[in-house]
């Protein structure tokens, strides 16, 4: 494994060990602050947790009707952590935290495999680990972090095979890709990108075509065989094909498709620019050094376009789409998509007083508008940098592609960028939520690093200044991620304390409680639930008791649980409400 251009020595094992130990230690210290322990579901992991519980207790893989992905890899992995003491959401959370750390360390190893310097490898790894959405999801049993770790491992071996033509690396990469596609269908983007990069590099010979086609065929074969088994045994979840149906619906209406692409691409670029900004700082300096006139022209256009789009949003507002079906309020600054990153920090915030019927009505104090305005400005800058870097590199790769003279770095860089773009295309064509935009970030970082050089030829003043700026961004992102995730777990822990008190001590029937999405889904999920407009949408049967952040008309507070909310600082509380007679 080399880290310097042509002819440099291999990485000293001691250096790799030290770096990885430091990264892992910082990760573990942050978790002490957050405290991920607690036997309760978060977000949508109630559905995946129930599948694991059924598998652990019966040996039968049977996903809930609410599942829209294969989930097999996730269930097998989570079940391993349930072996010592049986099923619990704490065990599942530890399984995700373990794989999340694997993903972060895999990014470090990937950048070293791409012959990037030590400091850039560490920056890329911490960029992923400090991403607030990635960090928050790592403390759940959501599928996103599993998918990221598995596909990064697959990509490492595919990249090695592109460089050295090794069939062993190709086999290992394919095995990880199959594990990825049995987690989420979109993992097909990685072998597809490898196939295109391999053909671009070596041409359409019989051997190359076979090597390109085999990983794609095996991944699709595994997915189709698994889906056939699910269907044939009556296990196929009712919502399994919902994403495909949304995409087909979007493709069937060209006018709507164009509008969706424009809107979703704009918002997606803002998120990607923000997530990748520490890496983009270095890459832009290299692009400007090597292609100054092109870079300035691209940057002017990209920043102008993104700033104009932000101005339009500021005047007219932006309606988040995704799984909430337009229920989220119109926003004028980041965050522009729902689910994890919220105006108040980390979510989702699925308690009755935060949702009135089908409408989201935020109850927790939001972070200052100046904070989100600054985040939006950074997102615009990052999006402009991303467009510039990819655009300039694409233009300068065109002659090389025309003559079929791709170098190893160029072929690998194309592979990573295609992996990200193929993944994003169906999302931008239909709808997505913010957490769907995290998986392509390591691929963009790796692709940009491959095509942008080794960052060793810039003027000496640039690296010091850029590293200082990148470190500041990573520190701010880390503090935000840890603080907001700690708050999210804190109020959820109190919510479940309140629910256990109602059910176990006060002997309240669970069907008389609206405890929020996760509680009602865990105990009362019903595929054929008939929505009652006087109640919330998450399978509420009775709402004599409600768990809320504050008071509601027609209810009285019978118990209050307080905690210290860090970001933004305030005295947080979770209250138990009882309907007035």
DSSP 513-561: EE--HHHHHHHH--TTPPP-TTS-TTT-S--SEEEESS--TTEEEEEEE
Say what percent of the chain tops pLDDT 70: 95
Quote the pLDDT of residue 322.
62
Which tokens is 100 given?
């999340």
Q: Compare 459 and 465 and report the one with higher pLDDT.
A: 465
Is a pLDDT exceeding 70 seen at residue 9? no
d(CA 381, CA 375): 10
Quote the pLDDT of residue 462.
57
Quote the pLDDT of residue 289.
87
Q: Are residues 371 and 512 in the same domain?
A: no
Quote the pLDDT of residue 1.
34
SS3 content of the chain, % helix, strand, coil (to 5): 65, 5, 30
Name the 3-class secondary structure at 573.
strand
Which tokens is 229 given?
């088994």
Q: Are residues 572 and 447 in the same domain?
A: no
Q: Compare 410 and 362 and report the one with higher pLDDT.
A: 410
Quote the pLDDT of residue 581.
80
- The model's pLDDT over 94-139, given as tens digits with 9 standing for 90+, comes to 999 999 999 999 999 999 989 888 889 999 999 999 999 999 999 9
* 3 band by pLDDT with thresholds 50, 70 and 90: very low
- The model's pLDDT over 147-193, given as tens digits with 9 standing for 90+, comes to 999 999 999 999 999 999 999 999 999 999 999 999 999 999 999 99
Q: Are residues 92 and 121 in the same domain?
A: yes
Quote the pLDDT of residue 11.
59
Q: Are residues 175 and 317 in the same domain?
A: no
- Number of folded domains that form the chain: 3
β-bridge pairing 545-548 and 513-514: parallel
Average pLDDT over residues 308-320: 89
- The model's pLDDT over 242-301, given as tens digits with 9 standing for 90+, comes to 999 989 998 998 888 998 899 999 999 999 999 999 999 989 988 988 889 999 999 999
- Structural domain range at position 350: 260-458
d(CA 371, CA 379): 12
For the four alpha carbons of 110, 111, 116 and 121, in that order, the dihedral sign comes to negative
Q: Are residues 454 and 495 in the same domain?
A: no
- In order of 60, 332, 369, 543, the CA distances from 313 in angstroms are 49, 5, 15, 38
Q: Are residues 361 and 423 in the same domain?
A: yes
Asked if residue 233 belongs to a domain, the reply is yes
Name the 3-class secondary structure at 552.
coil
Is a pLDDT exceeding 80 seen at residue 88? yes
Q: What phi-psi label fits residue 459: left (phi over 0), alpha (psi between -120 and 50 degrees) or beta?
A: beta
Lowest model confidence (mean pLDDT) among 75-89, 223-237, 259-273, 403-417 = 403-417
Task: Spell out the alpha helix ranges (H) of 59-143.
Answer: 72-82, 89-113, 118-129, 132-138
Q: What phi-psi label fits residue 549: left (phi over 0), alpha (psi between -120 and 50 degrees) or beta?
A: alpha
Q: Are residues 311 and 408 in the same domain?
A: yes
End of a domain among 240, 272, 306?
240
* Nearest one of 400, 471, 449, 481 to 131, comparing CA atoms: 481
* Nearest one of 436, 70, 43, 65 to 239, comparing CA atoms: 65
User: Is there a contact between 352 and 548 (Cβ–Cβ < 8 Å)?
Assistant: yes
DSSP state of 169: H
Quote the pLDDT of residue 7.
36
Asked if residue 225 belongs to a domain, the reply is yes
Q: Compare 206 and 420 and report the one with higher pLDDT.
A: 420
Quote the pLDDT of residue 12.
65
Task: Spell out the alpha helix ranges (H) of 165-205.
Answer: 167-181, 189-202
Asked if residue 478 belongs to a domain, the reply is no
- In order of 23, 87, 424, the CA distances from 56 in angstroms are 32, 7, 34
User: Is there a contact between 439 and 151 (Cβ–Cβ < 8 Å)?
Assistant: yes
Which tokens is 350 given?
């699925």
Q: Are residues 154 and 126 in the same domain?
A: yes
- The model's pLDDT over 15-32, given as tens digits with 9 standing for 90+, comes to 899 999 999 999 999 999
Say how many residues make up the chain: 581
d(CA 426, CA 448): 22
* 363 band by pLDDT with thresholds 50, 70 and 90: confident
Is a pLDDT exceeding 80 seen at residue 570? yes
- The model's pLDDT over 506-531, given as tens digits with 9 standing for 90+, comes to 999 999 999 999 999 999 999 989 88
Q: Compare 14 and 491 and report the one with higher pLDDT.
A: 491
Cα of 138 vs its chain's centroid, Å: 10
Quote the pLDDT of residue 286.
87
Say what percent of the chain tops pLDDT 90: 78
End of a domain among 240, 271, 294?
240
R_g of the chain computed on alpha carbons: 24
Omega within 30 of 0 (cis) for the link into 348: yes
* 355 band by pLDDT with thresholds 50, 70 and 90: confident
Asked if residue 476 belongs to a domain, the reply is no
Q: Are residues 96 and 18 in the same domain?
A: yes
Name the 3-class secondary structure at 355.
strand
Q: What is the mean pLDDT of the chain?
A: 92
Asked if residue 379 belongs to a domain, the reply is yes
Q: Is 365 exposed, middle or buried (0-12, 13-18, 19+ CB in 10 A)?
A: middle
d(CA 244, CA 552): 39
DSSP state of 330: P
- In order of 14, 241, 441, 514, 527, the CA distances from 123 in angstroms are 19, 38, 13, 44, 44
Quote the pLDDT of residue 457.
45
Q: Are residues 44 and 90 in the same domain?
A: yes
Task: Spell out the alpha helix ranges (H) of 233-253.
Answer: 242-251
Q: How many CB atoms lie within 10 A of CB 82?
A: 20
d(CA 73, CA 553): 45
Asked if residue 40 belongs to a domain, the reply is yes
Is a pLDDT exceeding 80 seen at residue 472? yes
Lowest model confidence (mean pLDDT) among 208-212, 267-271, 386-390, 532-536 = 532-536
Neighbouring-strand partners of residue 577: 546, 557
Is a pLDDT exceeding 90 seen at residue 10? no
Is a pLDDT exceeding 90 seen at residue 579? yes
d(CA 428, CA 269): 10
Q: Are residues 437 and 497 in the same domain?
A: no
Asked if residue 172 belongs to a domain, the reply is yes
d(CA 340, CA 145): 13
Quote the pLDDT of residue 490.
97
Asked if residue 467 belongs to a domain, the reply is no
Q: Are residues 180 and 275 in the same domain?
A: no
């Amino acid at each position: 494994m080399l880290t310097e251009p042509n002819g440099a020595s291999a990485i000293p094992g001691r250096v790799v060990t030290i770096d990885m130990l430091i990264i892992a230690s910082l990760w573990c210290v942050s978790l002490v602050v957050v405290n991920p322990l607690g036997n309760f579901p978060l977000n949508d992991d109630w559905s995946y947790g129930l599948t694991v519980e059924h598998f652990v207790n019966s040996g039968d893989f049977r996903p809930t009707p609410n599942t829209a992905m294969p989930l097999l890899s996730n269930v097998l992995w989570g079940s391993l952590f349930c072996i010592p003491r049986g099923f619990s959401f704490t065990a599942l959370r530890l399984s995700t935290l373990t794989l999340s750390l694997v993903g972060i360390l895999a990014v470090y190893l990937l950048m070293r495999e791409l012959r990037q310097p030590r400091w850039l490898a560490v920056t890329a790894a911490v960029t992923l680990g400090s991403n607030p959405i990635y960090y928050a999801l790592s403390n759940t049993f959501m599928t996103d972090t599993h998918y990221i770790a598995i596909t990064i491992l697959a990509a490492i071996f595919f990249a090695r095979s592109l460089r050295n033509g090794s069939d062993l690396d190709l086999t290992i990469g394919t095995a990880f890709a199959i594990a990825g596609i049995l987690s989420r269908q979109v993992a097909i983007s990685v072998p597809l990108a490898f196939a295109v990069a391999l053909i671009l590099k070596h041409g359409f010979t019989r051997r190359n075509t076979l090597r390109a086609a085999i990983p794609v065929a095996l991944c699709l074969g595994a997915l189709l065989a698994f889906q056939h088994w699910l269907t044939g045994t009556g296990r196929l979840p009712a919502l399994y094909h919902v994403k495909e149906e949304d995409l087909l619906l979007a493709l069937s209406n060209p006018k709507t498709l164009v509008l969706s692409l424009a809107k979703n691409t704009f918002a997606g670029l803002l998120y990607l620019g923000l997530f990748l900004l520490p890496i983009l700082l270095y890459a832009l300096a290299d692009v400007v050094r090597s292609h100054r006139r092109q870079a300035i022209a691209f940057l002017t256009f990209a920043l102008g376009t993104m700033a104009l789009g932000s101005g339009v949003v500021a005047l007219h507002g932006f309606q988040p789409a995704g799984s909430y079906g337009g229920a989220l309020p119109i926003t004028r600054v980041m965050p522009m998509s729902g689910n994890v990153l919220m105006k108040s920090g980390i979510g989702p915030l699925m308690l009755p007083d935060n949702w009135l019927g089908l409408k989201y009505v935020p109850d927790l104090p939001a972070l200052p508008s100046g904070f989100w305005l600054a985040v939006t400005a950074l997102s615009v800058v990052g999006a402009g940098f991303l467009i510039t870097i990819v655009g300039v590199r694409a233009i300068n790769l065109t002659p090389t592609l025309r003559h079929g003279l791709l170098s190893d770095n160029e072929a690998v860089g194309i592979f990573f960028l295609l992996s990200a773009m193929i993944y994003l295309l169906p999302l931008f064509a239909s709808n997505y939520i913010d957490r769907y935009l995290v998986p392509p970030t390591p691929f963009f970082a790796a692709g940009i690093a491959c095509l942008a050089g080794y960052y060793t030829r810039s003027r000496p003043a640039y690296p010091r200044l850029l590293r200082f700026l990148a470190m500041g961004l990573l520190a701010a992102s880390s503090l935000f991620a840890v603080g907001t995730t700690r708050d999210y777990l804190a109020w959820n822990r109190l919510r479940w304390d309140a629910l256990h008190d109602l059910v176990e001590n006060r002997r309240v029937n669970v069907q008389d409680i609206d405890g929020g999405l996760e509680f009602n889904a865990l105990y009362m999920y019903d595929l054929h639930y008939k929505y009652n407009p006087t109640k919330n949408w998450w399978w509420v049967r009775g709402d004599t008791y409600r768990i809320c952040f504050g008071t509601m008309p027609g209810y009285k507070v019978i118990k209050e649980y307080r905690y210290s909310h860090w970001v933004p600082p305030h005295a947080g509380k979770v209250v138990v409400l009882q309907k007035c007679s």
